[in-house]
Amino acid sequence: MQLVFELSRPGRRGVKWPSCDVPREEPQRLIPRRHLASGPPPLPELVEPDVVRHYVNLSTQNMSVDTHTYPLGSCTMKYNPKRNDAWASLPGFAQVHPYQPEHSIQGLLQLLYELQEYLAEIGGLDAVSLQPAAGAQGELTALLVAAAWFRDHQRELGPRSKVLIPDSAHGTNPASAAMAGFRAVTIRSNSRGLVDLEDLQQKLDDQVAVFMITNPNTLGLFETQIKQIADMVHQRGGLLYLDGANMNAILGITRPGDFGADMMHFNPHKTFSGPHGAGGPGAGPIAVRKHLAPYLPVPVVVRTPEGRYRLDYQRPQSIGQVRSFFGNVGVLVRAYAYIRTHGPEGLRRVSEDAVLNANYLLSLVKHFLPVPYGPRCMHEFVATAQKLKQERGISAMDLAKRLLDFGFHAPTVYFPITVRESMMIEPTETESKESLDALAQVLFRITEEAPELLHEAPHSIWISRPDEVRAARRPVLKWTPEEAAR
Ligand SMILES: *Cc1c(COP(=O)(O)O)cnc(C)c1O
């Protein structure tokens, strides 16, 4: 497929401008010369049908939850109900101006207030901030809250410089710890894929501020020792942080606050069905225990005794603002709609079905792709292509790429790094038994194919094997004639 710049022909136009009906001025008279461009910008020149066809054709090259099964582990790519989009698009939510007076946005503020309450209840914690704009920013925000709390309690607790993180954690955890000014220290996993308590015991000293844990962890296992871990951390004066991106397995079944977490973030764009990836901005609300609440970012949505809703900026201990205004409202409205649609029983059912689907798929897949930390899982599981790689030279990447030819989005591969040739598969509760059967069948069929066919897959899509390392290290996000000539 050609780039829109390659379709450009000098002089082609898609619009007709009306002739100028005000006196013309020399631009230099209005704008200082040094601010003037030297010529027109190098924009593509096309007629309207070319533009429309180009972008419509491009859009059909995408894989999405609306078009394909999308078992991307740790990302919870569940179906995004369309009515949530419709509600988020209501003018009272979508057209609000951030400087509008509070009395004119009482409905929106009530929704945000109630969402804070629901998330506190789901997390088993006391206070919520809806501000952070993504899971990773939620992690950073919560760690800044922790840092502020330790700063105020230095006399009793001493200086705290470390954040402990299991080796199976999402990469954002150590990154957030470093950004918040802590040193990230890795805790090993044991042979069962759970936190190695001996390693934790050794590294848990009085320099530790926070232990960040993901539960269920990224291997799809529930950390059954979580209560003991929480006690160990608390005895040392540390805080337990729960990475709640993967709440999809435990909604209404257990609550982080009940198993000892002091703070957590949610990923509404995963658990509560907001679109993500290129589909829309996410959010990363955080929930904390009462003693940490004064440090939450401003504004917090509060309810007055008269039953009005306000944005409270008067919180002297707050770490400040981490995002403009009141957060990514669109995805928060969708999360609210999702939670209200399901209700408490329904949310529990979501998690039960997500776990059931993942276990069903695991039971099919393990016969040809071993699952080292089976035999059961929570919302996802990690299979390995290591044997296939050793015996036939077929890698996890080959399998992932070949799946695209059969109309399935690839699972997450090479994460977590604790499993070689890993394929992290998360079907979610919104896939039917038929689509799970089809996915398992295709995966099996692929493992039997000729290695040469797999090394060159995918064969059916425009872009097959981009240089991912170069794309990450030297991203080219803008077309220029110089880049095009490279
Ligand atoms: C997705 C995810 C994150 C980061 O969330 P973003 O919204 O992508 O920033 C953090 N931890 C885990 C376990 C995740 O799956």
Is 388 part of any domain? no
- Whether 137 is in a domain gets the answer yes
If pLDDT is split at 50, 70 and 90, which confidence band does 326 have? confident
CA of 63 to the centre of ligand 1 (A): 20
Q: Which atom of ligand 1 is nearest to the CA of 269?
A: 7
pTM metric for this prediction: 0.92
* Nearest alpha carbon, ligand 1 atom 15: 74
Q: Is residue 98 part of a domain?
A: yes
Read off the pLDDT of each residue in 185-205 and give the average, rounded to a whole number: 96
Instruction: Supply the DSSP symbol for 189.
Output: B
Pocket test for ligand 1, best of 243, 248, 322 (most atoms within 8 A of CB): 243
431-442: average pLDDT: 98
Gyration radius of the chain over CA positions: 25
Domain assignment of residue 430, yes or no: no
Nearest C-alpha neighbor of 161 from the set 213, 211, 212, 207: 207
Structure tokens given for 261: 């977490």
pLDDT of 25: 81
CB 306 within 8 A of CB 110: no
- What secondary structure letter does DSSP report for 279? G
Ligand 1 site: residues with CB under 6 angstroms? 74, 134-136, 170, 172, 214, 243, 245-246, 267, 282, 284
Position in ligand 1 atom list of the atom nearest CA 270 = 1
Q: Residue 39: which pLDDT band, with cuts at 50, 70 and 90?
A: confident
- What is the Cα–Cα distance from 447 to 433, expressed in whole angstroms? 21
266, 234 in Cβ contact below 8 A? no
Q: What is the mean pLDDT of residues 468-474?
A: 91
Listed in order, strand segments (DSSP E) in 90-191 are 127-129, 162-166, 183-187
Distance in angstroms (rounded) separating the CA atoms of residues 278 and 261: 31
For residue 463, name the pLDDT band (cuts at 50, 70, 90).
confident
Give the 3-state DSSP-derived string for 374-435, with helices as H, strands as E and coil as C: CCCCCCCEEEECHHHHHHHCCCHHHHHHHHHHCCECCCEECCCCCCCCEEEECCCCCCCHHH
Mutate to test the pocket of ligand 1, among 74, 76, 241 (most ligand atoms within 8 A of CB): 74
Among 37-51, 273-287, 372-386, which range has the highest average pLDDT? 372-386
**Domain count of the fold of the chain:** 1
Instruction: Write out the residue range of the structural domain in which residue 271 sits.
Output: 85-341
**Mean of the per-residue pLDDT values for the chain?**
95
State the distance from the centre of ligand 1 to the C-alpha of 120, rounded, in angstroms.
Answer: 19
Residue 277 pLDDT > 80: no
Which tokens is 192 given?
């069962």
CA 216 – CA 225 distance, rounded (Å): 11
Cα gap 398→391, rounded to integer Å: 14
Q: Is residue 107 part of a domain?
A: yes
* Residues 127-145 pLDDT 10s: 999 999 999 999 999 999 9
Residue 210 lies inside a defined structural domain of this protein:
yes
Query: What sign does the dihedral 251-214-117-109 (CA atoms) show?
Result: negative
Distance 106 CA to ligand 1 centre (A): 31
Let me know if residue 259 belongs to a domain: yes
CATH code of the domain covering residue 265: 3.40.640.10
Judge whether 373 and 382 are in contact, CB under 8 Å: yes
What's residue 184's pLDDT? 98
Please tell me the distance between residue 26's alpha carbon and the centre of ligand 1 in angstroms: 52
Q: Is the pLDDT of residue 410 over 80?
A: yes
Q: Can you give the pLDDT at residue 278? A: 67
CB neighbourhood size of 167 (10 A): 15
Residue nearest to atom 2 of ligand 1 (CA): 245
Instruction: Note the pLDDT of residue 424.
Output: 98
Please answer whether residues 256 and 94 qualify as being in contact, where contact means their C-beta atoms are separated by less than 8 angstroms. no
pLDDT (tens digit per residue) in 305-315: 999 999 999 99
Q: Give every CB contact of residue 69 below 8 A, 6+ residues apart in sequence.
A: 407, 408, 409, 427, 431, 435, 438, 439
- DSSP lists the bridge partners of residue 263 as 241, 288
| CB neighbour class for 245 (10 Å; exposed up to 12, middle 13-18, buried from 19) | buried
**How many other C-beta atoms can be found within 10 angstroms of the C-beta atom of residue 235?**
9
**Assigned domain for 428 exists:** no
267 CA to centre of ligand 1 in angstroms? 7
Mean pLDDT of 156-185: 96
Q: Ligand 1, atom 8: nearest CA belongs to which residue?
A: 135
Structural tokens at position 349: 């059912």
pLDDT tens digits, residue range 19-31? 989 888 887 788 8
Percentage of the residues of the chain whose pLDDT score is greater than 90 = 85
